[in-house]
Structure 1
């Protein structure tokens, strides 16, 4: 089981790359669970070409109040449940699945004044702690920024996959994330997304000038942009396969090195 936390700035395309990477892994004969941990995202299941689950995990467990109660009880030691969870054990109401591809969303914010996302983070931590799916890849599409590190969710990651786009702000994010990854002793794989061919070398040089190696570069592509605009599933393009393979190999190598 390889747990990959896909991180990045808002607008970097991390959800799109999560979906494309999932499709690539499936094409390579892998089994993949995609976890939507972004309380604002609404379309990751569509990018994967799946139907929306009937509910999120939080809704299936009874909503925020029920989750808060469960978290409180667990913190006070009254919940001794330590059973492992497999994909096959999850309620069908909160899982969308096609063959060896499964999708689950932790929770969403739907209304004004619903409060912070802390209960969702607590639920995510508890879920990932109990998740046991040998032989599967687990891709966690994190919320934008570094909330997953600040709230301690990072402890359940095997590796951070940081997605950048060609901008100064994204480079600063990469530098910050690289420092945080070292601090929490987690390997990091860095990819740059939506790169025009004529600036690819400049982008690579800029990132590497920060002391960060670039593991893969993904080109800007109208077909991907068109699919996102129309709400269709993102295509697995042959042009992307070399970068996807490089990304996958970097993940496996860095997880192995850190084992």
Structure 2
């Protein structure tokens, strides 16, 4: 049985970058399933993966009864890369409720995750994924925030809503992204005052924007860049936490 790590947070905080860095790290060590559960899909671009079909595409050809039997069709949309596999939620063609797509996503997670050592879920921005329960069986929830009051409050709300809905993450941590040295101590105090456990700080790094503009992926980041060096500390802590579960 593998471990499931979910990444959530306010839009624009770098949630997908953190998900991609997790995939970069763990795919060098073990079989990894990456799931883009955000309808506004960006993870494939950051990973450099071409996606032809999504769960939203397949959903259009399924009736309610067939959703339960979706497991047999998962491999139609599972993108198999050399070091990891990727499943993308996408958007349904029809306007309106995402209920069926989310049901299919839950079936996919439950069915596939057991076949991998690590499953990494890039959640949709905000709080909706909690009420939809797409992250119900998660070992570690990482909440990504930036150095803003709104980011801190979103992280706090994610923890509160999870508790209110009785969603039992085994661990929940905050990652502060794009932090400057001047703000790190203040952020740490603010998060602690809100009852949030910080697992690490990721500094602003110009290479992230430069590589994005050049169409290069996280797998091409040099190991000695500030963002990668800082993230090494985050994943070390994650691995320690997983070993204790």
Do they fold alike, i.e. is TM over 0.5? yes
- Partner-residue secondary structure (3-state), 2:221: coil
* CA spacing shift, 1:96–1:65, aligned 2, 3 Å: closer
Q: Secondary structure of 1:177's partner?
A: helix
**Gapped regions of structure 2 (runs ≥ 5):** none
Describe how 1:50-129 pairs up with structure 2 within 5 A: 50=49, 52-59=50-57, 61=58, 63-64=59-60, 66=62, 68-71=64-67, 74=68, 90-91=74-75, 93-109=76-92, 114-129=95-110
Partner of 1:140, secondary structure, is strand
Q: After superposition, where does 1:25-40 map in structure 2 within 5 Å?
A: 25-27=26-28, 29-40=29-40
Show the counterpart of 1:224: 208
- Which of 148, 153, 163 is equivalent to 2:129? 148
Which digits, 9 at most, give the CA deviation of each residue in 1:78-125, with x for residues without a partner? x6x9x7x8xxx952x523333122212023255xx6112222111111
TM-score by length of 2: 0.85
Q: 2:238 & 2:162 partners in 1: Cα distance?
A: 14
TM-score (norm 1): 0.81
Q: Which residue of 2 aligns with 1:189?
A: 173
- Tell me how far apart the structure 2 counterparts of residues 142 and 67 of structure 1 sit (CA, whole Å): 25
Shift of 1:5: 1.1
Aligned with 2:192 (options 208, 218, 238): 208
Distance in 2 (CA, whole Å) between partners of 1:155 and 1:2 is 13
CA distance in 2, matches of 1:14, 1:229: 18
Post-superposition offset of 1:242 = 4.2
CA contact (8 A) 1:24 1:241 kept: no
Task: State the SS of the aligned residue for 2:27.
Answer: helix
* CA shift digits 1:170-201 (9 cap, x unpaired): 11111112223444221202110011222222
Instruction: Please state if 1:244 is matched with 2:236.
Output: no
Counterpart of 2:43 in structure 1 is: 44
Which segment is superposed worse, 179-188 or 157-166? 179-188
Alignment length (residue pairs): 238
Structure 2 CA distance for partners of 1:54 and 1:176, relative to 1, 3 Å:
same
In structure 2, distance between residues paired with 1:40 and 1:189: 24
| Separation of aligned partners in 1, 2:188 and 2:229 | 16
